[in-house]
């Protein structure tokens, strides 16, 4: 019965393997969509710089 209670109360976080897999997937997505991400970021910064003069 004690083992069952311990199992239910266990609150361990994610393991190292899961974190590494998430990082690998994110890096892969960034590599695949690097050009599109760069275009979006450049557009955002250009809008910010052009609209700061209007304030």
Identify whether 30 is part of a domain.
yes
Identify whether 28 is part of a domain.
yes
Identify whether 42 is part of a domain.
yes
pLDDT at 34 over 90: yes
pLDDT (average), residues 22-30: 96
pLDDT at 29 over 70: yes
- Dihedral angle of Cα 38, 43, 44, 50, to the nearest 10 degrees: 140
What is the rounded distance in angstroms from the CA atom of residue 27 to the CA atom of residue 21?
A: 10
Identify whether 52 is part of a domain.
no
pLDDT (average), residues 9-30: 83
pLDDT (average), residues 10-37: 87
Residue 44 is predicted with a pLDDT of 95
């Amino acid at each position: 019965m004690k083992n069952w209670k311990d199992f239910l109360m266990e609150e361990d976080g994610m393991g190292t393997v899961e974190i590494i897999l998430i990082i690998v997937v994110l890096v892969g997505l960034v590599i695949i969509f690097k050009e599109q991400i760069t275009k979006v970021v450049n557009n955002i910064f250009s809008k910010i710089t052009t609209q700061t003069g209007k304030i």
